[in-house]
Amino acid sequence: MEIGIRILIVFLVSQVVHIGAQKEGEEGCVPGFQVKEYQVEYNGGFQKDNPLMKVFFDDCAGNEGLAFEVSHPNFQVDQEMNLVARRDVMDSGTVMFIHGVNEHADDMAQVDIVGAPPRSPQTLREILGLGQIQPYRSKRALFAPRMHVNENMEPPFPKVIGTVMSPGMENDHIFHMTGSGADQDPKGVFTINRVTGEVSVSQELDREAISSYTLEVSVTDLSGKLVEGPVALLVDVNDQNDNRPIFKETRYAGEVLEGSPTGTVVMTMTAEDADDPRLQNAVLRYNIVRQSPDKPSPNMFYINPESGNIVTVISPTLLDRETLPTTQYELEIVAQDMKGRDVGLTGTATATITITDKNDHAPEFTHSLFQANVDEGSTGVAVNLTVDDRDDPATGAWRAIYSIINGDPTQNFEIQTNPDNNEGMLSVVKPLDYESVVFHTLLIKVENEDPLVPDVGYGSSSTATVHITVLDVNEGPVFFPDPLQVTKMENIPLGSFVALLNATDPDVLQSQSIRFAVLRDPANWLSVNPVRGTVNTSANLDRESPYVHDNKYTAIFMATDNGSRPASGTGTLVIHLEDYNDNAPYVHPSVVRVCEDTKDSVVIVGGRDRDIHPNAGPFKIELGKQPGLEKTWKVSRVNNTHAQIMLLQSMKRANYQLPLVVTDSGLPPLSNSTEIKVQVCTCKKNRMDCSSAGSVRSNLMMLLALVLLSLFCL
């Protein structure tokens, strides 16, 4: 019994110290009994269900699942936190303890009963309140109540934060504590008095680094033999408001469309606070402390203190991008914890809000009439049309689209937007003719890329008139037809008429003469009369000339007027040349090979002609008129263009010149007496050996020389 009373005294002392430690530097909510000592008067006993007093307990999280246990079995704490007797009680004793516990808090309070006689017997288990609260703590002898310690406590250290008790503690028993924060990293944060069970913190703590510690406490004898435990000891680090709100970014950007209704959400500002989110230390409130510029109102925007949403306050009429002093507003936003109370810490960020444009202004021409002069026959930009648009440049609400809505039936004009300055570039795309139309009147319309807002339309200023005056220019003569095509026979006599050039001057309002000249005559075959424009031959027209392509010869002529600044034009003459039989045919190939064995001595040759049908094939190929050839060679027709040459008898391996006559089909036909070289070769196993074949004509000449030499010697 003495040991139990000693433990009780130590426990009560430790609780008093613990209460002092909690109050030291406390600014937020501390889970547990908010009042730890109570007194009630004893007036001869307590009646059933009659409230004695009210206890104050707050787990800082709503007290959900909170349960109480009273050390005296005849008392309880009801749902309104009143201490009441379960039945009429006379033997209450002079002190009792109330144990409150849930998942967020575990704490004890003492109730002193003034004037009551001592209760007997009274067990230590009853004094310590170790009853039947099963969900949170089972029955055990070693008791380690949940402890709390404030972060950022100031020295000196160590400071006692609570006491672990054992009802079976004896003189040779000692307490041990293990776990992270004791004998494991971070080591030495907490220590336990081995005799009294007092738990102390030895250094300043940071809840944002470690918010709670789970330790184990046990009791051993002096030899180290385990007597009780181990049991868990939970130590919660109470938060202090030591972290100011921090915005994720220092500068935020948002935009709102001009004319937006009041209350339009522009953007959301978000800050974070590292303190305990369950406490007001991390409950933030937002506020706008500065707006720049402050025109037309210093309170154009409002920020929701809790959500951080920035919304418009200014009326839609005043939120006009074109009349505001600027299109960007800068807001200085402050986030403050402690629900925005003056004691709260603050963090600052900047929000830049851009007033974006909507197409509420139609483009307008700077002039209702534009004028320009254009030389006839020219193309390119004639005039630049300028417009005003009050909307945001470089947006679809500002960019202009021009169109010609009247005055261009032949589509001589085109208008495009200059991307640099939004001007309309009116261009001539088909040359204008002064002699046809001198004045052109165009109606031009301008619109935006983006559609206008419903209550805005295009007015008369969105159209303009353009007067184009065509200036007369001395134009060069024009050939007709161009090209001029004629057909002539080749080899016609020199000076023959070829064509008559026809060129007219477009300047019909002026009386001007035209002179002709040859500009390009590749073969120098032609001449032209400078006044009449008649073209005659100055050389033979040769269809087979390299200057003739696909039977066509092309020459270019120039016609020049006699204006003050003479102008010229060019025309093309194409002569289609008809073929004349002026080229004799020939045999191809000019060298052939036959085998000395007459069985395989057949070759094919063909006729060729630089002329064309009907002055070319069919060709007639036959032996020359030398006597005796028909005994050795035979030529027979294969088709209209080829003939077969056959060796009729075996001949020595040598080279022979075979005379042939080839005739075309022209009127009159042309013949050509020619020779082909026939190599008589040795043929074996599909191989033809012609290496030692010599010319028969050369051998005969050598033989004749030897005969003459012998005669001379005789």
DSSP state string for 109-161: EEEEEETPPPPSS--HHHHHT----TTT----SSB---EEEETTPPSS--EEE
Residue 22's SS3 state is helix
> Phi then psi for 70, rounded to 5 degrees?
-105, 140
Q: Output the six-digit token pair for 455.
A: 């209550």
* Topology given in CATH for the domain delimited by 478-578: Immunoglobulin-like (2.60.40)
The torsion angle over the Cα atoms of residues 428, 434, 435 and 436, rounded to 10 degrees, is 40
Contact at 8 Å (CB) between 606 and 644? no
Helix (H) or strand (E) holding 4: helix 2-23
pLDDT for 599? 67
Which range of 108-112, 161-165, 522-526, 612-616 scores highest in mean pLDDT? It is 522-526
E strand residue ranges, 386-539: 387-388, 400-406, 413-417, 424-428, 439-448, 463-471, 478-479, 484-489, 497-500, 503-504, 514-520, 526-528, 534-537
| pLDDT > 70: percent of the chain | 89
Mean pLDDT for the stretch of residues 654-681: 90
DSSP state string for 311-347: EE-S-TTT--TTTSS-SEEEEEEEEESGGG-TTS-EE
Mean pLDDT for the stretch of residues 531-539: 95
Q: Which of 92-101, 383-392, 655-664 has the lowest mean pLDDT?
A: 92-101
pLDDT at 30 over 90: no
Identity (one letter) of the amino acid at 608?
R
Q: Rounded CA gap, 451 and 399, in Å?
A: 11
pLDDT at 593 over 80: yes
N- to C-terminal Cα separation, the chain: 176
Contact at 8 Å (CB) between 350 and 381? no
Answer CATH for 246-356 from 1.10.10.10, 3.40.630.10, 2.60.40.10, 2.60.40.60: 2.60.40.60
**Whole-number mean pLDDT of the chain?**
86
Higher-confidence residue of 216 and 714: namely 216
pLDDT for 13? 38
Identity (one letter) of the amino acid at 654?
A
pLDDT at 667 over 80: yes
Mean pLDDT for the stretch of residues 5-17: 40
Per-residue pLDDT of 209-235, as tens digits, reads 999 999 999 999 988 899 998 999 999
C-alpha separations of 178 from 175, 182, 297 in Å: 10, 5, 65
Mean pLDDT for the stretch of residues 226-248: 92
pLDDT for 132? 41
The stretches of 420-526 forming alpha helices (DSSP H) are: none
Band (pLDDT 50/70/90 cuts) for residue 429 is: very high
Among all chains, which residue has been given the structure tokens 């522009």?
266
* Topology given in CATH for the domain delimited by 142-238: Immunoglobulin-like (2.60.40)
Sorted by where each begins, the domain ranges of the chain are: 32-114, 142-238, 246-356, 364-467, 478-578, 586-689
pLDDT at 435 over 80: yes
> Phi then psi for 573, rounded to 5 degrees?
-115, 125
Per-residue pLDDT of 320-354, as tens digits, reads 998 999 999 999 999 999 999 999 999 999 999 99
Per-residue pLDDT of 481-502, as tens digits, reads 999 999 999 999 999 999 999 9
Mean pLDDT for the stretch of residues 158-182: 89
Q: Give 325's contacts (C-beta < 8 A, 6+ positions apart).
A: 293, 295, 296
pLDDT for 141? 67
Mean pLDDT for the stretch of residues 93-115: 85
Q: Which of 473-487, 490-504, 533-547, 590-604 has the lowest mean pLDDT?
A: 590-604
Q: Rounded CA gap, 258 and 145, in Å?
A: 63
Mean pLDDT for the stretch of residues 298-315: 95
| pLDDT > 90: percent of the chain | 60
pLDDT at 173 over 80: yes
pLDDT for 20? 40
pLDDT for 692? 55
pLDDT at 698 over 90: no
Mean pLDDT for the stretch of residues 385-392: 93
pLDDT for 400? 95
pLDDT at 533 over 90: yes
478-578 matches 32-114 in CATH topology: yes
Contact at 8 Å (CB) between 350 and 303? no
CATH 2.40.50.140 fits 586-689, yes or no: no
Full-model pTM = 0.49
* Topology given in CATH for the domain delimited by 364-467: Immunoglobulin-like (2.60.40)
CATH 2.60.40.60 fits 32-114, yes or no: yes
Task: Name the DSSP class of 407.
Answer: S
Band (pLDDT 50/70/90 cuts) for residue 648 is: confident
Mean pLDDT for the stretch of residues 187-193: 94
Which residues, listed in sequence order, are joined to residue 98 by a DSSP beta bridge? 70, 109
